[in-house]
Amino acid sequence: MQLIECPWCGPREETEFHYGGQAHIAYPETPSELTDTEWAQYIFFRANPKGLFAERWSHSGGCRRWFNAVRDTRTYTFLATYRSGEPQPEVQS
């Protein structure tokens, strides 16, 4: 089991966290103008990279707050965690 660095609580065990998928997906600014294809993109289509991935995590067994992480999907290594609203940090795998 690995430790995940919650940006509010510090390092905690992986079992305290829940996964939330790709980060930085904004709700459409003009939802009534979206085509079916654009809605499909917003609702269903997510990146699935082999490598670095910016994604959402929830510290559900702790402070219960959401935050973002950059993780390598090949090694599962967490390279950075940061609070929601902050820009994605530049990291190297």
Partner 1 sequence: MTSATPPGAHLPEHGDFLWRNPEPKKSYDVVIVGGGGHGLATAHYLAKNHGITNVAVLEKGWLAGGNMARNTTLIRSNYLWDESAAIYEHSLKLWEGLEDDLGYPILFSQRGVLNLAHTEQDVRDSVRRVEANKLNGVDAEWLTPDEVAKICPIVNVSGDIRYPVQGATYQPRAGIAKHDWVAWGFARKADEAGIDLIQDCEVTGFVTDGDTVTGVCTTRGDIACGTVALCAAGHTSVLLDMLGVPAPLSSHPLQALVSELLEPVHPTIVMSNQVHVYVSQAHKGELVMGAGVDSYNGYGQRGAFHIIERQMAAAVELFPVFARAHLLRTWAGIVDTTPDASPIVGHTPYRNVYVNSGWGTGGFKATPGIGWCLADTVAHGRPHEYVAPFALDRFVTGALVDEHGAAAVAH
Q: What is the Cα–Cα distance from 93 to 91, expressed in whole angstroms?
A: 7
Nearer to partner 1, 29 or 50 (CB): 50
Q: How far apart are the first and last CA of the chain?
A: 20
Nearer to partner 1, 37 or 92 (CB): 37
Give the nearest distance from C-beta 33 to partner 1 in angstroms: 16
Q: Hey, is 54 helix, strand or coil?
A: strand
Residue 24 engages partner 1 in binding (rule: CB under 8 A): no
Q: What is the Cα–Cα distance from 86 to 32, expressed in whole angstroms?
A: 28
Q: Hey, is 80 helix, strand or coil?
A: strand
Question: Which positions from 48 through 87 interact with partner 1, judged by CB under 8 A?
Answer: 48-50, 53, 55, 71, 73-76
* Residues engaged in binding partner 1 (CB under 8 A): 1-2, 14-15, 18-19, 21, 36-37, 40-41, 43-46, 48-50, 53, 55, 71, 73-76
